[in-house]
Amino acid sequence: GFEFKTLGKNWWQLDTSFIKKLTISNTSSSGTAPTSRNYTNTFTFDLTHFRKGGLTIPIFFFRDFYFNNDITFDLDTEYSHTYKTIDPGNAKNLEDFIEEESSRTLTIEPIISYNLTTWVSGNLHFTYKLTDDKTTGRTEIKDVGFYLAFKIRG
């Protein structure tokens, strides 16, 4: 894969990767499973933006109050295709293999993380996952959530 990152206070980062994997199970003795080939093709794309800033609130008769805040926007995407082919028993070449299993998955996950001062942090996230499976059919998952943390010092 490739990774690119800009320099500076407010930076961007881009990560991409493509993975191709093949696992061959070759058993030719009688009474065992036929020769099978498991393929996995995965493409990932991640984009991150970090922004550092703050907010000053003027308070009369006191020192100005400064809120430090950092925000990170992260977009993670992944596409995966996994499938399995088997030898029907008389295959002369790879075109004679039969597709037994197949699954395609698309996942999109944006996350916004923030730090409001050193005492409060959290994130807001959304997950969208679409799966198309040869056996179970098409499923779609949507999930929204948040996380909030307060530091307590005593």
3-state secondary structure 80-102: EEEEEEECCCCCCCHHHCEEEEE
> Can you give the pTM of this predicted structure?
0.80
Per-residue model confidence as pLDDT tens for the chain (154 residues): 899 999 988 999 999 999 999 999 887 666 667 889 999 999 999 999 999 887 777 777 667 777 778 899 999 999 999 999 998 878 888 888 999 999 999 999 999 999 887 788 999 999 999 999 999 999 999 999 999 998 887 5
Give dist(CA 15, CA 18) in Å, integer.
11
